[in-house]
Amino acid sequence: MAVSLKPLDDRVVVKALESEEKTAGGIVLPDNAKEKPQRGRVVAAGPGKLSDAGDRIALSVKVGDEVLFGKYAGSEIKLNGEELKIMRESDLLAKVEA
């Protein structure tokens, strides 16, 4: 049974991109030396936060955007064998532009 997520308000679901296997000098890193990924792709986004007047404020990211986030930002979940993070839009640090 496939389950899909629909985040609420200003939350986004991010799938972390794999961290680098090698350093710039070509040294292969073992699994325990790799840092937690801080880059990911938005796989689901909520409708936006409600303002005090009751208007919906749209998110500045959309599904498919590549983003940067803090090491320990968001809540980690496992869904259909995939590790995902659910976080508020304010936990995102930047949007990666191509």
Domains within the chain, CATH numbers bracketed: 11-17+32-96 (2.30.33.40)
Q: Residue 17 has what pLDDT? A: 85
Is residue 44 very low, low, confident or very high in pLDDT (cuts 50, 70, 90)? very high
Q: Residue 4 has what pLDDT? A: 81
What pTM value is reported for the model? 0.77
- 3-state SS class at 33: helix
Q: Residue 33 has what pLDDT? A: 53
Beta strands in the chain (DSSP E): 11-16, 39-45, 49-50, 56-57, 66-69, 75-79, 82-88, 92-96
Q: Report how far residue 1's alpha carbon sits from residue 19's, in angstroms, rounded to the nearest whole number.
A: 30
